[in-house]
């Protein structure tokens, strides 16, 4: 996935594509799960900027590309 159109998708759709629950995503971002649930129905481009810059690499899958597999 090259990131084309990623900002037009909802946070919930992108989170489910990565196989994450709201609680797991909140733990990765060091936030409360309620914060994630509040923005789930928003498109990624509508999420406020400090949170958007933290959440985009995780929802895009950048962190899973760097995992070391044995």
Tell me the pTM: 0.81
- Going residue by residue through the chain, which has 70 residues, state the pLDDT in tens, using 9 for 90 and above: 455 688 899 999 999 999 999 999 999 999 999 999 999 999 999 999 999 999 999 998 887 766 666 4
CA angle in degrees (0–180, nearest 5) for 36-41-22: 30
Domains of the chain: residue spans and CATH: 6-65 (1.10.260)
State the pLDDT at residue 63: 74
């Amino acid at each position: 996935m090259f990131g084309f159109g990623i900002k037009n998708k909802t946070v919930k759709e992108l989170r489910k594509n990565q196989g994450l629950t709201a609680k797991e995503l909140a733990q990765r971002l060091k936030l409360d799960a309620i914060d994630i649930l509040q923005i789930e129905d928003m498109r990624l481009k509508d999420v406020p900027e400090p949170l958007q810059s933290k959440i985009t690499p995780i929802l895009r899958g950048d962190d899973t590309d760097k995992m070391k597999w044995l």
